[in-house]
């Protein structure tokens, strides 16, 4: 260490004590912030899980309803041929969606999904109140 | 705290004993606060960001594999958070070569000790440096970090850190010498 460095080491060391000063309760404040953040993260994860579950249930419901219609009302699903061609898949879906009654069933499925979401939100609110 | 003790503590926290984290906070808060304060030159902001650094460290602890020491790891988090805060503030800094001697001089006989005068002068000089230059000075001279460690933390090359450190050392010493000789003859 040369003389120049020694001067700087000494000078900056004298500053370090001042720089390290903290208010009392710093640790408590950190732990409090961690608890709050932990709660927030858990809630976020829970909401995301519920959203995924609700969406899956919604999709499942819509599919079941379409199949019920197919079996009970002689609704043809022959257009849903398995194909690797994405373009034709889209056109198949477009044809499929033009079938009478398709929209109604989608609306019923979406309504069910919506109701399930509302139910989840309300139950979550009630849980957090408890 | 010994490294083995620290590793055991970290393992316990990772396994779910969250309450032990405050031991790490007690151990490293002076270091974290001083590095952030050094970069930002503001005590209130420094404490606030230091708290956020520990919160971030707590939730990222799973990613800590122990390749580097916990001290280096948390130092890096503190550096990144303080630098991004400094960028938000958008203060204009000067390069070390263009740094002028602060106007305030010690020509008058003041009650302050020589040490306090040096401290004041250094603070004034540091305030005008760029946050990353301040960080290099503080971590090298105040926290005794090696050039290799500083390079890892800042993402700069070791030669770049060396060059910057050398230039700053030269300039700081020049200012200090000029000022102190002027003050004390």
Are A13 and B25 within 8 A, CB to CB?
Answer: no
Give B-chain residues touching A41 at CB under 8 angstroms: 59
Report the C-alpha gap between B155 and B41 in whole angstroms.
22
Q: Which of A11, A26, A38 sits opposite B29 (nearest CB)?
A: A26
pLDDT tens digits for A75-118?
Answer: 554 544 444 555 555 565 666 666 666 777 777 777 888 888 88
Rounded-to-integer distance, Cα B96 and Cα B128, Å: 9
Nearest to A7 among B26, B50, B176 (CB): B176
**Distance (Å, whole) CA B126 – CA A19:** 13
Rounded to 10 deg, the angle between the B147-154 and B158-184 helix axes is 110
CATH number for the segment(s) B92-185: 1.10.10.10
Q: Read off the tokens for B94.
A: 């000067």
**Using CA atoms, how far apart are residues B32 and B11, in angstroms rounded to an integer?**
21
CATH 1.10.1740.10 intervals, chain B: 1-90
Residue spans of the domains in chain A: they are: 43-130
| Mean pLDDT computed over every residue of chain A | 74
pLDDT category, B60, cuts 50, 70, 90? very high
In angstroms, rounded to a whole number, what is the distance separating the alpha carbons of residues B127 and B64?
33
C-alpha–C-alpha distance, residues B66 and A18, integer Å: 30
Q: Determine the Cα–Cα distance for residues A1 and B182; give it in Å rounded to an integer.
A: 25
Q: CATH 1.10.10.10 spans which residues of chain B?
A: 92-185
In sequence order, what are the residues at sequence separation of 6 or more whose Cβ sits closer than 8 angstroms to the Cβ of residue A67? none
pTM above 0.80, yes or no: no
Fill in the DSSP letter of residue A11.
H
Percentage with pLDDT > 90 across chain A: 9
Is 60 exceeded by the pLDDT of residue B43? yes
The answer to whether the CB atoms of A14 and B30 lie below 8 A apart is: no
Give residue ranges of A with CB < 8 Å to any B CB: 4-5, 7-9, 11-16, 18-23, 26-27, 29-31, 33-34, 37-38, 41
Greater confidence, B75 or A105? B75
Interface residue of B19, B20, B36, B37 to substitute, partner A, most A CBs within 10 Å? B37
pLDDT of residue B109: 47
What are the helix (H) ranges across chain B? 3-14, 21-40, 43-60, 70-89, 114-127, 131-137, 147-154, 158-184
* ipTM for this prediction: 0.72
Residue B16 CB-half CA count within 13 A: 0
pLDDT (tens digit per residue) in A109-123: 778 888 888 887 877
Closest CA–CA distance from residue A72 to any residue of chain B (Å): 54
CATH number assigned to the domain with residue range B1-90, chosen from the 4 options 1.20.120.80, 3.30.1300.10, 1.10.1740.10, 1.20.1250.20: 1.10.1740.10
Q: What percent of chain B has pLDDT over 90?
A: 23
Q: In the structure encoding, which two tokens stand for residue B119, read together?
A: 């401290």
């Amino acid at each position: 260490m040369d003389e120049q460095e020694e001067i700087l080491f000494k000078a900056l060391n004298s500053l370090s004590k001042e720089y390290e000063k903290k208010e009392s309760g710093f640790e408590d404040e950190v732990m409090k912030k961690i608890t709050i953040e932990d709660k927030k993260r858990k809630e976020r994860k829970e909401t995301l899980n519920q959203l995924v579950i609700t969406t899956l249930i919604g999709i499942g419901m819509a599919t079941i309803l379409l199949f019920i219609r197919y079996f009970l009302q002689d609704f043809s699903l022959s257009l849903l041929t398995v194909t690797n061609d994405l373009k034709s898949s889209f056109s198949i879906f477009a044809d499929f969606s033009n079938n009478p009654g398709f929209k109604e069933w989608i609306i019923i499925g979406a309504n069910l999904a919506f109701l399930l979401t509302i139910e989840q939100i309300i139950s979550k609110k009630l849980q957090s109140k408890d | 705290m010994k490294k083995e003790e620290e590793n055991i503590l970290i393992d316990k926290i990772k396994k779910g004993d969250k309450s032990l984290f405050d031991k790490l906070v007690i151990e490293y808060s002076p270091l974290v606060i001083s590095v952030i304060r050094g970069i930002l030159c503001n005590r209130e902001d420094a404490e606030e960001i230091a708290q956020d650094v520990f919160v971030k460290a707590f939730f990222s602890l799973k990613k800590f594999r122990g390749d580097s020491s916990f001290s280096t790891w948390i130092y890096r988090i503190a550096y990144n958070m303080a630098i991004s805060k400094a960028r938000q503030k958008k203060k204009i800094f000067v390069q070390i070569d263009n740094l002028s001697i602060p106007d305030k001089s010690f020509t008058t006989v003041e009650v302050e000790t020589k040490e306090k005068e040096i401290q004041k002068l250094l603070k004034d000089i540091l305030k005008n440096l760029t946050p990353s230059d301040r960080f290099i000075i503080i971590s090298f001279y105040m926290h005794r970090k090696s050039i290799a460690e500083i390079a890892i933390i800042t993402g700069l090359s070791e030669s770049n850190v060396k060059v910057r450190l050398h230039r700053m050392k030269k300039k700081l010493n020049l200012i200090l010498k000029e000022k102190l000789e002027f003050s004390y003859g």
